[in-house]
Amino acid sequence: KNEVEQSPQNLTAQEGEFITINCSYSVGISALHWLQQHPGGGIVSLFMLSSGKKKHGRLIATINIQEKHSSLHITASHPRDSAVYICAVRGSGSRLTFGEGTQLTVNP
């Protein structure tokens, strides 16, 4: 079992739908990151969380430390949101441990 599990692996939505991507982890963490990766490879950091909830535009990220679970929500999804979304956790060290990513496709 991977230390970081994401679900679903693939998600197809229609423009305007509310989207949720889930991340569960099995280790103690100091921070959790949600990342976005477009074709071509570059990774953009969306959120860094250690507790509670953060919001940026149409994106919302929540984390429940006790349950070792985080969710990324996208409201009013748009085709330009199509990308791979990756959850990554930082434990006691400096490195990140990544989930396998969720491929999101938003159709017009």
Partner 1 sequence: DTGVSQDPRHKITKRGQNVTFRCDPISEHNRLYWYRQTLGQGPEFLTYFQNEAQLEKSRLLSDRFSAERPKGSFSTLEIQRTEQGDSAMYLCASSLEGTDGYTFGSGTRLTVV
Q: Single out the segment in contact with partner 1 by CB under 8 A; choices: 11-19, 62-70, 74-82, 99-107.
A: 99-107
Task: Give Cα separations from 5 to 11, 25, 66, 67 (angstroms).
Answer: 15, 6, 16, 13
Q: Nearer to partner 1 by C-beta: 17 or 31?
A: 31
Which one of 27, 79, 100, 105 is in contact with partner 1 (CB under 8 A)? 100
Q: Does 60 bind partner 1 (CB under 8 A)?
A: no
Q: Does 12 bind partner 1 (CB under 8 A)?
A: no
Q: Does 99 bind partner 1 (CB under 8 A)?
A: yes
